[in-house]
């Protein structure tokens, strides 16, 4: 937050290009996740990917690790990208809703943590990788970095206090005291 922001009372915003790039990355992730979801519900043979050696999409997408609590990982990824699309639209980056930036950052972090688990499962449990899955992992990482950059640039929501007219970071549990 700059001195001008404090004087003018406006909240800082991320660079103008960031929401549009985050939407583009999210749409690409929706495409890859949709393709993986289609492959899950039809047949893994539609995946344009090798089925021998280290790269074996069929081995990855039909493994026990391709389901979490009975839900296909591809469907979870598709749902995550749908949610992130809503949170990445340019209007949501400019909103004054204080809860939106922390929710966007938390959801991006959850997605990144899940990707780390999936990469672990591919490399150390299955000993195979899926190129389509890897594309989703790369897009998730890219979106995580964009959200982190935008959050760092704009800062977390700020609240004025009666005792201190300058702005300070919001305290999420202040009402519980």
103 assigned to some structural domain: yes
171 assigned to some structural domain: no
173 assigned to some structural domain: no
Q: Which domain holds residue 145?
A: 3-155
Q: Which residues contact 141 (CB under 8 A, 6 or more apart)?
A: 112, 115
177 assigned to some structural domain: no
Distance CA 98, CA 25 (A): 24
Predicted pLDDT at 152: 87
Which pLDDT tens digit goes with each residue over 116-165? 999 999 999 999 998 899 999 999 999 999 999 998 887 765 444 455 55
Which pLDDT tens digit goes with each residue over 30-77? 999 999 999 888 877 777 777 777 888 888 888 899 889 999 999 999
Confidence of residue 175 (pLDDT cuts 50, 70, 90): low
Predicted pLDDT at 3: 45
61 assigned to some structural domain: yes
Residues 14, 108, 127, CA angle at the centre, nearest 5°? 135
169 assigned to some structural domain: no
Tell me which of 137 and 12 has the higher pLDDT: 137
pTM for the structure as a whole: 0.78
Q: 174 near 50, Cβ under 8 Å?
A: no
172 assigned to some structural domain: no
Q: How many domains does the chain have?
A: 1
Tell me which of 167 and 67 has the higher pLDDT: 67
17 assigned to some structural domain: yes
Predicted pLDDT at 119: 94
Predicted pLDDT at 8: 46
Task: Average the pLDDT over 9-29 and give the result.
Answer: 85
Task: Average the pLDDT over 76-102 and give the result.
Answer: 92
Tell me which of 11 and 53 has the higher pLDDT: 53
């Amino acid at each position: 937050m700059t001195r001008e922001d404090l004087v003018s009372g406006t909240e800082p915003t991320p660079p103008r290009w960031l929401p549009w790039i985050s939407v583009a990355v999210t749409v690409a992730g929706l495409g890859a996740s949709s393709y993986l979801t289609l492959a899950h519900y039809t047949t893994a043979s539609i995946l344009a990917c090798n089925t021998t050696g280290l790269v074996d999409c069929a081995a990855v997408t039909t493994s026990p690790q391709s389901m979490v609590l009975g839900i296909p990982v591809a469907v979870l990824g598709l749902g995550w990208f749908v949610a992130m699309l809503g949170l990445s639209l340019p209007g949501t980056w400019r909103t004054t809703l204080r809860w939106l930036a922390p929710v966007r950052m938390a959801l991006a972090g959850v997605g990144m943590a899940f990707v780390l688990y999936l990469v672990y499962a591919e490399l150390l449990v299955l000993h195979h990788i899926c190129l389509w899955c890897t594309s989703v992992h790369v897009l998730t990482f890219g979106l995580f970095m964009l959200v982190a950059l935008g959050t760092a640039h704009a800062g977390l929501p700020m609240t004025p206090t009666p005792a201190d007219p300058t702005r300070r970071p919001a305290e999420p549990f202040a009402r519980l005291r």
